[in-house]
């Protein structure tokens, strides 16, 4: 069996980088051949693919040269992605001996799915829906125009018809897809995973992030590590930090970059919130060290993000035996999961009181924190591990190929 993988790019860090790496490795190890097509980013710092993939005898790839585009310039970024969707057609046509196409979602999935379906003919097309567009753009405020929303919803609804199977990364996303007219039998829920062969809790005395920044073990760290982008809600962190300012040993660690970081940092300074400390984005190999530093992790989302997307860091934090406090849409399956399984807490988007009280409860009850952390690790291994979830993709590919 041979699969044509149409992926975004492995040449620069992104939230799904570790997912695509693990998936391709495990698909190749299952005896399935892959030819991958991706963007060749000008000035990229990473190799085209990790050596574990590049050196595999059943792997080949081709790249479409692209210039980097500022993520804040939506129109320019969108048009570049449309042009990319058009340019990949020659690579699909040239590598025409595949049995199916696997397509990673993007803001221009409409065009890429149309191109993929045209060349695939009757062969299956599997659409890996990581971030629903335009739903995610509407939720984070990037697309306020009603007329534009209607156009893109119509385009995406048409695009979904081009896929043989759509994989959703949560039950909430499955509901969103069905609301947009996708038949339930066409959807498979396979959650985003962490690499259980690499991600694990790192002891304080061995932690490189601790050593790098000379952190004190006497503090209670509330951490956010990741992209401070359009789905990120800094206001809830500012308000929570304000409420907990009297606790001198509670420190908010903000690690990463993104379009919201500069204003976030400026607002924290103007409000005199010296209990918020900012750190630069850390390298991919520091994931376990970074997450193992925190006492609890705070995931602050904008309203409407859940269902259109899912925090990819949730499974990673569980692997590092960490408890998550979420600021998330009330009633979502994702949010309810933490309270139901007693592995963390979830509050509505703007419920500062509950978020603050949940953090204080864990701060004042270290034994409860340990119990929640233990359950989170077990639950993560059962539901979010690479071992469990890449196998589901392999089984899906084999099922479709019959």
pLDDT, tens digit, 9 for 90 and up, residues 336-394: 999 999 999 999 998 999 999 999 999 999 999 999 999 999 999 999 999 999 999 99
Q: Which residues contact 179 (CB under 8 A, 6 or more apart)?
A: none
Handedness of CA 160, 166, 169, 174 (dihedral sign): positive
Q: Are residues 287 and 354 in the same domain?
A: yes
Does pLDDT of 68 surpass 80? no
In angstroms, the CA 356 to CA 185 distance is 41
Give the structural domain span for 44: 2-193+385-401
Q: Tell me, what's the pLDDT at 83? A: 83
In angstroms, the CA 305 to CA 133 distance is 11
Q: Are residues 77 and 60 in the same domain?
A: yes
Q: Tell me, what's the pLDDT at 44? A: 76
Both tokens of residue 148?
């534009």
Q: Which residues contact 301 (CB under 8 A, 6 or more apart)?
A: 231, 232, 233, 311, 326, 327, 328, 329, 349
pLDDT tier at 110, thresholds 50, 70, 90: confident
Least confident among 104-108, 177-181, 243-247, 362-366: 104-108
Q: Are residues 183 and 88 in the same domain?
A: yes
Query: How big is the chain, counted in residues?
Result: 402
Q: Are residues 131 and 62 in the same domain?
A: yes
Q: Are residues 149 and 211 in the same domain?
A: no
Quickly tell me which residue has 């997307």 as its tokens: 309
Return the CATH number at 350: 3.40.50.2000
Q: Are residues 297 and 228 in the same domain?
A: yes
Q: Tell me, what's the pLDDT at 249? A: 96
Q: Are residues 168 and 279 in the same domain?
A: no
Query: Does 198 fall in a domain?
Result: no
Q: Tell me, what's the pLDDT at 81? A: 81
Please indicate whether residue 140 or residue 126 has the higher confidence score (pLDDT): 126
Query: Does 254 fall in a domain?
Result: yes
Q: Are residues 390 and 378 in the same domain?
A: no
Average pLDDT over residues 298-318: 88
Q: Which helix (H) or strand (E) holds 136?
A: helix 135-139
Helix (H, G, I), strand (E, B) or coil at 50: coil
Residue-averaged pLDDT of the chain: 91
Q: Measured between alpha carbons, how far is residue 259 from residues 69, 70, 71, 283 in Å?
A: 13, 10, 8, 19
Q: Tell me, what's the pLDDT at 72? A: 64
| pTM as predicted | 0.85
Q: Are residues 276 and 396 in the same domain?
A: no
Both tokens of residue 54?
């590049």
Does pLDDT of 241 surpass 80? yes
With 0-12 / 13-18 / 19 or more C-beta atoms within 10 angstroms meaning exposed / middle / buried, residue 196 is middle
Q: Tell me, what's the pLDDT at 145? A: 87
């Amino acid at each position: 069996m041979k699969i044509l993988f149409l992926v975004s790019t492995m040449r620069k860090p992104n939230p799904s980088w570790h997912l695509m790496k693990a998936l391709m490795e495990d698909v190749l190890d299952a005896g399935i051949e892959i030819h991958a097509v991706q963007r060749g980013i000008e000035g990229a710092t990473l190799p085209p693919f990790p050596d574990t993939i590049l050196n595999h005898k059943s792997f080949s790839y081709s790249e479409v040269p692209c210039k980097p585009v500022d993520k804040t310039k939506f129109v320019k970024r969108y048009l570049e992605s449309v042009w990319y969707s058009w340019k990949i057609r020659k690579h699909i046509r040239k590598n025409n001996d595949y049995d199916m196409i696997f397509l990673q979602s993007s803001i221009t999935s409409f065009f890429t799915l149309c191109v993929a379906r045209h060349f695939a003919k009757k062969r299956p097309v599997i659409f890996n829906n990581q971030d629903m567009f335009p739903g995610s753009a509407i939720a984070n405020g990037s697309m306020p125009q009603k007329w534009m929303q209607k156009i893109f919803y119509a385009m995406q609804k048409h695009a979904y018809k081009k896929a043989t199977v759509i994989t959703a990364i949560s039950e909430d996303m499955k509901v969103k897809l069905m609301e947009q007219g996708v038949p339930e039998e066409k959807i498979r829920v396979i959650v985003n995973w962490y690499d259980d062969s690499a991600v694990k809790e790192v002891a304080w005395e061995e932690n490189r992030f601790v050593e790098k920044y000379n952190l004190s073990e006497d503090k209670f760290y509330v951490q956010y590590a990741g992209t401070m982008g359009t789905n990120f809600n800094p206001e809830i962190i500012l308000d929570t930090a304000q409420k907990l300012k009297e606790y001198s040993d509670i420190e908010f660690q903000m690690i990463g970059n993104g379009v919201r970081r500069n204003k976030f940092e400026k607002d924290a300074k103007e409000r005199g919130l010296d209990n918020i400390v900012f750190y630069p984005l850390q390298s991919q190999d520091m994931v376990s060290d970074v997450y193992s530093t925190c006492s609890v992790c705070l995931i602050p989302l904008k309203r409407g993000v859940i269902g259109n997307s899912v925090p990819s860091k949730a499974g990673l934090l569980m692997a590092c035996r960490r408890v998550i406090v979420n600021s998330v849409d009330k009633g979502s399956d994702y949010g309810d999961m933490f309270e139901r399984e007693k592995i963390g807490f979830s509050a509505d988007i703007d419920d500062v009181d509950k978020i603050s009280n949940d953090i204080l409860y864990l701060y004042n009850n270290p034994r409860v924190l340990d119990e929640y952390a233990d359950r989170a690790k077990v639950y993560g291994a059962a539901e979010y591990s690479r071992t469990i979830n890449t196998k589901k993709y392999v089984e899906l590919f084999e099922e479709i190929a019959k």
